[in-house]
Amino acid sequence: MSASLQRRPAKALTLLAAAEAELDRLGVEWRGVRFWKALVDRWTENARAALTAEDAEGAWAEGLGRGFDRLSREALDRAGASD
């Protein structure tokens, strides 16, 4: 969601897809938490609206393909490089 706030909709969708897939893999049923689902849905819709349908689907597929662990490591590596 922070990537969406930073006006990086493709990155937001990539990270949302990876996070959702990881939660599903772990068996976490987060969709039952209404306020959280509404928040995630809102930011997902905002990010999708900022992109073409093709770009939005590509960003989502990238998140599913690269996975949560890999994207997390890359983010931490970038953060460490800026320290």
How distant is the alpha carbon of residue 49 from its chain centre? 15
Sign of the CA dihedral running 37, 45, 57, 18: negative
Answer yes or no: pTM beyond 0.75.
yes
How distant is the alpha carbon of residue 47 from its chain centre? 10
pLDDT-flagged residues of the chain (< 70):
1-6, 81-83
The total number of structural domains in the chain stands at: 1
Euclidean distance between CA atoms 36 and 3, whole angstroms: 17
- CA angle (55 as vertex; 53, 58 as ends), nearest 5: 110
Euclidean distance between CA atoms 57 and 61, whole angstroms: 6
Q: Give per-residue pLDDT as tens, 4-25.
A: 545 789 999 999 999 999 999 9
Q: What does the pLDDT read at residue 33?
A: 87
Q: What does the pLDDT read at residue 63?
A: 95
Range of the domain at 24: 2-81
